[in-house]
Amino acid sequence: MRIVVALGGNALLKRGEAMTAENQRANVRVAAEALAPLVAGNELLISHGNGPQVGLLALQADAFPLDVLGAQTEGMIGYMIEQELGNLLPYEQPLATLLTMVQVDPDDPAFQNPSKPIGPAYDEQEARKLASEKGWTVKPDGDRWRRVVPSPLPRHVFQLQPIQWLLEKGVVVICTGGGGIPTMYDEDGKLRGAEVVIDKDFASALLAKELDADLYVMATDADAVYLDWGTPQARPLGRVTYQDLKSHEFAAGSMRPKVLAACWFAQMTGRRAAIGSLADIDAMVAGSAGTQVGPAAGEVAELFGIPLA
C-alpha cells in the first residue's frame, strides 16, 4: 500500500514540554519506532506538524516571516524524523526529506479571518498585551488564549513529481511538514512566501490524494474521534462513512480539521482515511483501530473489503 502518515504536533513535542532538541528527539524516536514496521512492504510518506515550533520561533525579536520559519522547521523536524527512523531500518533503505512548498490562493477568505493558533497559550490579559505590541491577532483556545494566523486551504503541492519518483524507487519520503511552506503567486506570476500557516491535515490530505495514496492516516494523541467528547456520553467512532461523520458537529480545535480532512480524502478518492493513536498504527493500517473513514458503505465494501458501521 502507498500510505501517507501525518504526525500530530504531540508526536514531536508534548504539551508543556520545553522545545529543546532533546525533547523533540525523544518524541520523534517514539514515533519512529511506531513507523518503522510499516516500511517493509509499503510505500511510506511521512508528514508532520510544526505548530509549537513555528510559534516559538515566531516569538523572537527579529522573527523571520512564516514561510521562512516553515522552511526552517521542515529542516529541523524532517532531519530528526529521517535520522531516528533511519536508525531503525536496514542501512540500505533510502530515506529522503524534501522541502515542500504548498500554494494558497490570495483570495482565500481565511485571510479575512485568522483562525490557526500558533505558539504558546497565554492568559487573556497577556495575550491582548502581546497582540497590541506585536500586531498579532489572538483568540481563545480552550480556557487559554493564543496567537492566530490565517490558514487558507492548500491548493497545490509543488514537489509532487520528485516525491513520486522517489516513492517509485522505494524511498521513504518525509515531506509537506507543517502543512508545507506557504506560498502564493504575486501579480507578476512569481511565487512568494505567504504569511500564513497551512493546516497540515489538509495539506497532507491533498498530498495523499495527488499521489494516489491507498490510505491516509492522521496520528494524534486520541485513540479515535469521539462523539460528545468531554461529556459522560463520550464514545469513540469506529468505522464510519464520510457522510455519517460529516453529519456530526466537532468543536473547532485539533480534531475538527482531522475529521474534515478525512472526509475530504475519502470522498475525493473513494479510499480510506484513519484517525487515531500512533501507538495503534499497525491496527489502524489494518483497519481495526482508530476511526476509519470510508466512502459510502457499498463503495467501501468493494474498495477494501471492510464492512462499515
Interface residues with a second copy (CB under 8 A) are: 18, 20-21, 60, 62, 64-65, 67-68, 71-76, 78-80, 82-83, 86-87, 94-99, 101, 158-159, 161-162, 165-166, 169, 171, 181, 183, 190-193
Q: Which three cell numbers stand for residue 25?
A: 528527539
Q: Which three cell numbers stand for residue 119?
A: 505558539
Query: Which CB, 73 or 267, lies closer to a second copy?
Result: 73
Query: Which CB, 165 or 252, lies closer to a second copy?
Result: 165
Three-class DSSP labels, 203-238 = HHHHHHHHCCCCEEEEEECCCCCEECCCCCCCEECC
Smallest separation (angstroms) from a second copy to the CB of 6: 19
Query: Which CB, 162 or 287, lies closer to a second copy?
Result: 162
Is residue 134 flagged as an active site residue? no
Phi, psi of 87 (to 5 degrees): -65, -15
Instruction: Give the DSSP H/E element, type plus range, for residue 260.
Output: helix 255-269
Is residue 258 flagged as an active site residue? yes
Query: Which CB, 191 or 301, lies closer to a second copy?
Result: 191
Smallest separation (angstroms) from a second copy to the CB of 111: 20
Query: Which CB, 22 or 249, lies closer to a second copy?
Result: 22
Residue 183 is classified by DSSP as: E
Is residue 14 flagged as an active site residue? no
Q: Which three cell numbers stand for residue 302?
A: 468493494
Smallest separation (angstroms) from a second copy to the CB of 86: 6
Among residues 8, 9, 180, 193, which one is catalytic?
Answer: 9
- Cα–Cα distance for residue pair 110/133, rounded to 1 Å: 23
Smallest separation (angstroms) from a second copy to the CB of 126: 20
- Cα–Cα distance for residue pair 174/176, rounded to 1 Å: 7
Smallest separation (angstroms) from a second copy to the CB of 75: 2
Among residues 70, 78, 200, 290, which one is catalytic?
Answer: 200
Strands 181-185 and 101-103: what pairing? parallel
Among residues 10, 49, 179, 290, which one is catalytic?
Answer: 10
Among residues 258, 276, 290, 294, which one is catalytic?
Answer: 258
Residue whose entry in the numeric block shows the C-alpha cell 500510505: 3
- Cα–Cα distance for residue pair 139/147, rounded to 1 Å: 6
Q: Which residues are catalytic?
A: 9-10, 116, 200, 258
